[in-house]
Amino acid sequence: MNNLDPEDEAFNEIERMSNIRKESVKMTMLKPKTAEEFYDELRNKVLDEVVQEVLKMKAFGQDTLNSLAIYIKEMKK
């Protein structure tokens, strides 16, 4: 059973998240992304944004929009 009060629990959670972020930053700094990795990540994010906007379109039926979304997602690297 957990005997910590809510304030201590919150502090422990903040500290745990801080340690996770530190490790993430450390790993990122150890192995920088190549230009191709950076480009592919950026491309994939842009394609995700395009999919979100396509799905908002009202000019086509839902089946057509879903097909377009799948087609666009398959363009990811």
- 35-63 pLDDT, tens digit each: 999 999 999 999 999 999 999 999 999 99
DSSP-assigned letter for residue 31: S
Q: Does the structure show a pLDDT above 80 at 21?
A: yes
- Greater confidence (24 vs 59) lies with 59
The span from the CA of 38 to the CA of 77, in Å, is 11
pTM over 0.75: no
Domain range summary for the chain, segments of one domain joined by +: 1-31, 33-77
User: b vs e for 22-42, b when ≥16 Cβ sit within 10 Å of the residue's Cβ?
Assistant: eeeeeeeeeeeeeeeeeeeee
